[in-house]
C-alpha cells in the first residue's frame, strides 16, 4: 500500500518560521528529538534540524539523552502580525 500523502492547503503565500526547543528522554536520541519537537508547541511542524545531542552519564553508561533542535512551521502572510506557535 503506498504511503498517504498529506495535502497542504495554504491561503496565499507562506513564510517558514523556526522555533528553538530542547527535549530529553531516558529511551534514546530519537525520543529526545521527539520530546523537543513536542516542547516547541508548534501546531503543524514541517521539519526539524537537530543542532546538538548530548547525554548524561551514569558511570560508563548513557543515562539521559538530550537534544536541541530548530522546528520549522509554515505561517501564512496573513498571520505575520500574530504568533501561531
> Is 60 within a domain?
yes
Average pLDDT, the chain: 85
Confidence band (pLDDT; 50, 70, 90) for 6?
low
Domain count, the chain: 1
CA atoms of 83 and 85, how far apart (whole Å): 6
The proportion of the chain whose per-residue pLDDT surpasses 70, expressed as a percent, equals 74
> Is 19 within a domain?
yes
Boundaries of domain holding 18: 14-77
> Is 5 within a domain?
no
Which residues, including other chains, have CB under 8 Å from residue 6's CB and lie 6 or more apart? none
Could you tell me the pTM of the whole model?
0.73
Q: What CATH number is associated with residue 40? A: 3.30.1660.10
How big is the chain, counted in residues? 85
> Is 3 within a domain?
no
Amino acid at each position: 500500500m503506498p504511503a498517504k500523502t498529506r495535502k497542504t492547503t495554504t491561503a496565499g503565500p507562506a513564510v517558514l518560521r523556526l522555533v528553538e526547543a530542547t527535549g530529553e528522554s531516558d529511551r534514546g536520541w530519537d525520543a529526545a528529538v521527539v520530546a523537543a519537537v513536542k516542547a516547541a508547541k508548534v501546531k503543524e511542524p514541517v521539519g526539524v534540524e537537530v543542532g546538538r545531542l548530548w547525554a548524561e552519564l551514569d558511570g560508563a553508561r548513557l543515562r539521559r539523552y538530550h537534544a536541541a533542535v530548530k522546528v520549522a512551521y509554515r505561517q501564512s502572510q496573513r498571520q505575520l502580525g500574530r504568533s501561531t506557535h
